Amino acid sequence: MNEFDIIADYFRILTMGRAECAGLQDDAAVLSIPPGRELVVSTDTLNAGTHFLKNETPENIARKALRVNLSDLAASGADPLCYQLSMAYPQKPQAEWLAAFTGALLEDQKIFGIFCSGGDTTSIHGGVLSVSMTVLGTVPAGKALRRGGARAGDTIVLTGSVGDAALGLHAVWNGREAAYPKAVARHRLPVPRLAAVETVRNHAHAAVDISDGLLADLGHICEASHLAAEIRLAGGGSEGGLVLSDEVHMALLSAEMKMEDVLSGGDDYELVLAVAPDHLASLLAGLRKLSIPAQVIGRFMAGAPGVTVLDPAGTKLTLKAHGWQHF
Amino acid sequence: MNEFDIIADYFRILTMGRAECAGLQDDAAVLSIPPGRELVVSTDTLNAGTHFLKNETPENIARKALRVNLSDLAASGADPLCYQLSMAYPQKPQAEWLAAFTGALLEDQKIFGIFCSGGDTTSIHGGVLSVSMTVLGTVPAGKALRRGGARAGDTIVLTGSVGDAALGLHAVWNGREAAYPKAVARHRLPVPRLAAVETVRNHAHAAVDISDGLLADLGHICEASHLAAEIRLAGGGSEGGLVLSDEVHMALLSAEMKMEDVLSGGDDYELVLAVAPDHLASLLAGLRKLSIPAQVIGRFMAGAPGVTVLDPAGTKLTLKAHGWQHF
């Protein structure tokens, strides 16, 4: 089984028979972009020992790689088109591993409406498994969401909740899976908010997905939009603010997790949106109709780029960690 | 210097200030594809210790990564648009290394007319440096060249010569750089045949670039086109056939290289074309006008997919190696 056999036997099926991909027998895929639409491109790479445990199952690696890339399309307001897949193997992969990996990709492709357009299969002697994807999507021309589009006075909306993936990772590391099953599932298998794409691009000024942590990614919007942001924690009888999931709340109460970890833990792949006040009701109604949970957690304002966190009483918190960094 | 600093200080300049890339501050790039054109996408990944020596200079790694990707665009008849760059570092990269790497990319971007649209910067703990690129180009709709387009009776045309990169690698490994300077240069710095793109898409039925070796890549056209191919070696007073470079010829005579190595050595990044006989003169004239060397080396015919090699007297050769494989 050489690289050509691997491609023919396992990866070709991921093209779903599309002529654009020429059965992965060509140097390149040739794709039509529908008139009136723009192309959206993003790349995310996952490395063994850094982004996933070295003994992680092939199914979970496959799904996570595809989903974190799809999450970037969601944050751009783009509909999925196709993806390129580069796999670098430290040793020759086993047939069972490949079957499980590509089988999981194929299932997810059907769920999210995307196909594999090509890629590269290489060996990485003395290295570790590296999975790099470049995902392509399309948006109606001029409708892509950018990080730099937020305006002073915009409301900050969060889909779902934050801190869950960080708690899941903590639970896996510390044998606490049984206590935090939902958080472990979120860590293992993020759900890109692609279902929200149309609603979000109709009603939001800016969006980012939470891969580096709420504070860091919200900070990215602040920098790109030249704005300050303020988020407020819910609780203590006051109305509004950031509500946590039951498991994350429990982990905070039992001191298994600190608020820093919640606000700076990465990998949640929820969306943070900047929404003009007069679009807020429509956005929330649209998301509710799609059964996508969402909450108002703060607002953007003029000021030096940066995120302020207020406790339920409105007192400014001082936090240490600010998100995942590679170096 | 964290990953965001690295991106801002070294990689942002590679976007050449294009608004599509939002200064690499966004999750994705948003690109317009000109009306009437199709998108061509290809991915090539280079890993330290496998595709380049671990002590290779950053400039050579950068140029090789970009150029082998551009070669796939050339083989598809596509004009360059942009590329995504994923870098996985085993340890925090040094400022000098990054400056040299991105400086070389920027120079090549100007030569070949392409910009960096985005990518990913990751750490790969316990691994080795991995550089993955996905290159995007465009072609007039319906004009992309595919491997499956060759027809029985088509002439096989080769740009430049083959075996030179393999000889260069041999020379580097064996301290013979001084004897084979041109071959070493070819090994270090391939020249993608992008200048030939328009001529080739106007006159060829099919194309492939030689990354895996002449026999292997010509074999790919045979398989995709369901044809047999025959190539003939020049020499002994007979007319036509595959002519080798002076250095490769010398290496054969001195037994430093075998004919198998010439025909199956990868990394030449020349184009192999299938050309209808009535287009041959126009193709060769077009390439001559562009100062791109080209030679007729054989023909396609009906038959089981596979490549036959004839010596100058027309006798079939039996060869062992058939090209680079990863496993």
Give the DSSP letter string of A278-311: HHHHHHHHHHHHTT--EEEEEEEESSSSEEEEE-
What pLDDT, in 10s, does the model give residues B119-146?
Answer: 999 999 989 999 999 999 999 999 999 9
Q: Where are the domains of chain A?
A: 3-140, 147-310
d(CA B95, CA B98) in angstroms, rounded, equals 5
Give Cα separations from A115 to A21, A66, B82, B198 (angstroms): 10, 11, 21, 30
Tell me the CB-side half-sphere exposure of residue A159, using CA atoms within 13 A: 32
The mean of the pLDDT values for chain B is 93
Model confidence at B324: pLDDT above 60: no
Report chain A residues whose CB lies below 8 A from the CB of B125.
47, 49-50, 128
pLDDT at position A236: 67
**A140 vs A119: CA distance, rounded Å:** 26
CATH H superfamily, domain B147-310: PurM-like C-terminal domain (3.90.650.10)
Give the distance from CA A199 to its chain's centroid: 17
Interface touch A126/B49, C-beta < 8 Å? yes
CB contacts of A150 in chain B (<8 Å) are: none
Question: B96 exposed, middle or buried (CB, 10 Å; 0-12, 13-18, 19+)?
Answer: exposed
DSSP assignment string, B209-240: E-SS-HHHHHHHHHHHHT-EEEEEB-BTTBSS
Q: Assess whether pLDDT exceeds 70 at residue B321.
A: no
Alpha-carbon distance of A159 to A242, in angstroms, equals 11
Mean pLDDT of B55-60: 94
Enumerate the residues of chain A whose CB falls inside 8 A of the CB of residue B82: 41
* HSE-CB of A43 using CA atoms within 13 angstroms: 29
- 3-state SS, residue A318: coil
Tens digits of per-residue pLDDT, B186-214? 998 999 999 999 999 999 999 999 999 99
B49·A127 Cβ contact <8 A? yes
Q: Judge residue B110's burial from the number of C-beta atoms within 10 Å of its C-beta, 0-12 exposed, 13-18 middle, 19 or more buried.
A: exposed
Contact A28 B144 (CB under 8 A): yes
> Would you say residue B323 has pLDDT above 80?
no
* Residue B73 scores a pLDDT above 90: yes
Q: How far apart are CA B268 and CA B218, in angstroms?
A: 13
Task: Assign B319 a pLDDT band (cuts: 50, 70, 90).
Answer: confident
- How many residues are given for chain A? 327
Looking at residues B154-171, what average pLDDT do you find? 96
How many inter-chain contacts (A to B, CB under 8 Å) are there?
247
The predicted pLDDT at position A320 comes to: 67
Nearest to B76 among A27, A121, A209 (CB): A27
More confident residue, B287 or A321: B287
The ranges of chain A with pLDDT < 50 are: none
Chain A residues in contact with B44 (beta carbon < 8 A): 120
Considering only CA atoms, which of A73, A100, A82, A76 is closest in space to residue A20?
A82
Task: Give the C-alpha separation, B30 to A40, whole Å.
Answer: 5
Q: What is the mean pLDDT of residues B107-118?
A: 97
Tokens 């089988």, located at residue: A103
CATH of domain B3-140: 3.30.1330.10
Q: Provide the pLDDT confidence category of residue B117 given band limits of 50, 70 and 90.
A: very high
Q: Report d(CA A123, CA A87) in Å as an integer.
A: 8
Per DSSP, what are the bridge partners of residue A307? A229
- Identify the burial level of A114 via C-beta atoms within 10 angstroms of its C-beta, where 0-12 means exposed, 13-18 middle and 19 or more buried: buried
> How would residue B236 be classed by pLDDT, with cut points 50, 70 and 90?
low
Q: Which residue of B has its CA nearest to A131?
A: B132
Q: Determine whether the interchain pair A2/B148 forms a contact, defined as Cβ–Cβ distance below 8 Å.
A: no
Gyration radius (Cα) of chain B, Å:
20
Give the span between the Cα atoms of B293 and B288, in whole angstroms: 7
